[in-house]
Structure 1
Amino acid sequence: MLAAADRLFAQSEIPGAVTMDAIALAACVGKGTLFRAFGNRDGLLDALWAAKIATLKASVESSAPPFDASTAPPDRLVAFLDAILMFKIANRHLIRARELSGGLLQSPHYQWMHAEARRCIMDAADTADMAYATYNAHSLLAGLHIDLIDEMLVQGLSLETIRKFQATRARNVLHP
């Protein structure tokens, strides 16, 4: 079911046009089966996102380089945000569908990204100011919204330029 959904979202120019009916048909299951398995469309998108982000999460959570303790905290934050950016670019069809459906800030995937970014900010800025870290983690992640990334690319910024500016912005948050 997830593979069928992934194919449909990848082929669609308009993520909102991919319906549960279309996914059920492509997966050769009944629509009720989809709803029992995932609850709703956002649940299906979250499950698909979880399957795709599992490798990145494992890398970050296992403290593999550049997420290990020997990497300077500012560099860990930059590497984490860059990994999220590249994940979103590689999975833009899925990300666009999920980000446009609402409720993203409550999704487990955003909550994980936010917690990791906040932890990196607290480590790098050597602060116990949770409010500072919370706000700036949200602010940095907002710059990774897929519509904003796509708009920057359309306006002529290269992916490499976006990555460079993102790294600079993250470092400025840590050392204004």
Structure 2
Amino acid sequence: MSMRRLILEYKQSLRLVRKQKEKVKADINKLEKQAKKAGLFKKEQIKQQIAVLERDKKLLSDMEGELLYAIEWMTTARRPGNRRGAERLSIEQRTVTLPDSFFNNIAYAEQEEIEIDEEKQKILEEITWDLTEREKDVFSLAKGEGFTIEYISQLLGISSGNVKKALYRAEKKIEKNIKNFIENEKK
């Protein structure tokens, strides 16, 4: 899903929340008018209904705030309310420690640049067309870069079990696609 589409969906949700909040406010006003004209027993019932609607209104207000926060974060690519951007962080906050294998893989990749012609690129795309973004990331990091499952899980911020699952699924899909590709080539 693209970021634009995600932002549009969040904005649509924000409109729905605001619409529902206005409806709840109108219901509260209507009940308050009824309470002025009602008797003592009926007034208590109406006050309880108003209390429930007030809780709903607070919940909707909280949802509205969270949606606005998320939309601002997605549109500006910065955490809302930050006074200092990443470029103004201290050296400790900007430093990222990477394992030694990371640099070894980069050095190896720079030594041996592989040029892929159009035909090989098409084959590669045909073999990996049905992989999800996560599966592609995990597969390329594990098989292409040689990173460990634990490091990939830290890098992507997911559990090692999810990394293993994504790698297994990617391998199975690629294996199936290679078989299909070979069968189609024979025809």
TM normalised by structure 2 equals 0.23
Tell which structure's C-alpha radius of gyration is larger. Answer: 2
Higher RCO structure (Cα 8 Å, ≥6 apart): 1
TM normalised by structure 1 equals 0.24
